[in-house]
A and B are shown apart, each in its own frame.
Chain A
Amino acid sequence: MSLGNSWLVIPGQPVLSGIILAIIFFVLAYLARAPMLQAIHALGRVLYRMFRLAARSVAIAERRLDARNREVLLASGREAAERMVDREFHRIERVVNRDLQAYPELHRRISEHIRRIDEDFRNNNESPPTPPEWVKAVEAVAKLQETADPAVASVLGDIRKSLVRAQEKATHEYRKAAARRHRLLAGMAPSWRGIERDLSGVGKGVNTLLDRSGRIDRQMEEFEEIRNATDRAQQTLSSSSLTQFFVSALVMAIAIGGAMINFYLISRPMQEMVGGNSTIGPFLTANIAAMVIIFVELSMGLFLMESLRITRLFPVIGALDDRMRHRMIWITFGFLVALACVESGLALMRATLAASEQQLLQSLGNGGAAAAASAPQHQLIPMITQMVLSFILPFALAFVAIPLESLVQSARTVLGVVGVVLLRALRFVLRLLGNASVGGAGLLARLYDLLIFVPLRVEALFLLRRGGSGGALSGSPRRGED
């Protein structure tokens, strides 16, 4: 008997053997129905509990992470708000100090202007000289009726002339006095303008203070919101953090581009210093040396920004006393200048090498293009450009510290948010699997019944015939089984 026919109950009768085996199987399955269904449901329940437990653990982790994110976000927001308020207070202090220092001088100036105006005003009060008293007598005489007496007429004529002269003199004196008053008034104008200017300066200072105090009020409100951990503050900080993350990532990408250009400029001439054929692992030593120079520049930039208290990545540096910090600023700046000079020198060497190589290629007969490119006037411009670029790039790279700090700080929030989202998705999947396992167990039980529907039907008919109720219909679970 071959192995393929070993299952045959009746040799040479596969159909009959199959039927017999099927009957045996269905009978056994019918007999094992109760424990089988119990096992299936128990498995479903175990899986359900397991997934629910896992989902609960994930939910706890999610809540913890969310709370942690909230704490981190609010702490960073609080720190930023403190910095802003602190900066505003410093500005106000500066404005107040400046204005208060100038106040005695301002007071003296305004007092001087007022004194001058007062003096001029008093001078203006002087009345013009009055005509002499005898003029009234003359006026009375002049009013007399004109007579034919020539003597009287002559006297009257003389009196009239005297009167006219006196009037002219008085008018002249009056005009002189008026002109003098006008002059005095004109002299008061600069004092008025001076006062106006000083007062407008004071007004401007006051407005600045009001503006600043308004800003401080707003920032204090924000600070209060952050301190009270309101949802609005959290939302604002979260969106601000996301924006900060993407912007700083963009700036970092630009900086990486700059670093690559820098690397390209110095890697070739670096071969002059460390050799062009030695390697460290799979990398050329010259390339590694160029990378090290760029990384040292970046580090110096970080230290410089930290010493200037622009960034706060290293609390140790920020906590140094001012004298030490100033020293560190000069040292790191000195290193940066030295590295920039080194890079500039390397750029010069690169240009020289390129020119030399072009000459060699030309002599080897590699076309006229090289010859055209080797003209001195065409070499000078790229050489200077490379040198300037190599000198500037280290300083430009130093500023990478600012976006780096933003990226690091905002990354904490962004990664936290991403983590929460992932945990939430995982929790959903676990709950889904839990529910699916219960439903799946039910479905499996139904499929089992479907498989043995013939014996079940027979059982139902048997029970009906015995006058049993319809509770044992085919496919319906027996009491205590489901």
Chain B
Amino acid sequence: MRRLTIMLLLAGLVAAGLPGCSGQSSRTQAVFMLVDTSGTYAHQLDKAQSIINYLLAKLYPGDSLAVARIDSASFTQKNILDQVTFDGRPSYAIAQKRNFKRKIDDFVKSVKHGSAYTDITGAVVQAAEYLRETGAPHKTILIFSDLKEDLPKGDVRNFPLHLKGIRVVALNVTKLRSDNVDPRRYRNRVKHWRKRVEEGGGKFVLVNDLSRMDKVLPQQ
């Protein structure tokens, strides 16, 4: 009888001790969203906000999310609006999502006018660093920008990117007024970034239609 009780207790302990020998899920993913706040893009932040809300709804416990602004000097921690790795416990993850949303809402309200320059490369480099640190198997950088880089004098950004294993999604790449004059400029901009990403080992995806948000995150 005693032996049986001990066996039953052992079974319970084994069940309770299961998390001790656990690893990270291969389904976790890390997403870094870069929001362009330069020029006219400062007025399109509501679209960026809805994309972030979509991400919050779609990401699971264990996933990581960070949002940073693209401005005149983007390769700085100060530009990161918020970053979070959602807790494994769903209730904590829900609370984290609420906090994240509140911070993004506050940021959107605080932006009055855009920055003078647009440092996309610096933001992408910083995002790639962050994503590599998370160790997530699926890494995505979302760039909410027109992809037209405009750097302050003296900044060096014409170096190759290291984006191996990272999916780069360009969102809402609006056509500029100058593109209307010569549409090849738009195509060249997209082509330039596709080339840079793919040369860096990454995968480039263009999503202009925001109703096709299912393309934003990798299919698992």
Contacts and interface: CB of A to CB of B under 8 A. Distances in A.
Interface of A: 268, 271-272, 274-280, 282, 284-285, 288-289, 292-293, 296, 299-300, 303, 320, 324, 327-328, 331, 335, 352-353, 356-357, 360-361, 363-366
Interface string B1-16: 1001100100110110
Nearest to A364: B53
Given A289-B15, A328-B1, A360-B97, A280 B22 contact: yes
A300 B9 CA distance: 12
A271 B88 contact: yes
B43 interface: no
Contacts of A278: 19, 22-25, 88
Contact of A275 (B21, B53, B88): B88
19 contacts: A271-B61, A274-B22, A277-B24, A277-B25, A279-B23, A285-B18, A285-B19, A285-B22, A303-B4, A327-B1, A331-B5, A353-B94, A356-B94, A357-B90, A357-B94, A360-B98, A363-B101, A364-B53, A365-B50
B153 interface: no
Closest 8 CB pairs of A and B: A277-B62, A275-B88, A278-B22, A276-B61, A364-B53, A292-B15, A274-B19, A276-B88
A275 B89 contact: yes
B93 interface: yes
A373 to B, nearest CB: 15
Contacts of A274: 18-19, 22, 88
A471 B24 CA distance: 88
A293 B1 CA distance: 22
A277 B57 contact: no
A276 B91 contact: no
Interface in B1-49: 1, 4-5, 8, 11-12, 14-15, 18-19, 21-26, 28
Interface string B79-116: 00000000111110110011001000000000000000
B25 A284 contact: yes
B56 interface: yes
Contact of B91 (A284, A320, A356, A364): A356
A272 B19 CA distance: 12
Nearest to A338: B12
Contacts of A320: 1
A282 B1 CA distance: 37
Given A282-B26, A285-B18, A364-B53, A276 B89 contact: yes
Contacts of B60: 276-277
A353 B56 contact: no
Contact of A280 (B12, B18, B56, B97): B18
A296 B11 contact: yes
Residue of A278, A303, A353, A356 with most chain B CB atoms under a 10 A cut-off? A278
Contacts of A363: 98, 101
Given A328-B4, A364-B56, A364-B57, A276 B18 contact: no
Given A271-B89, A280-B23, 7 more contacts: A272-B91, A275-B19, A276-B88, A276-B93, A328-B1, A357-B94, A361-B57
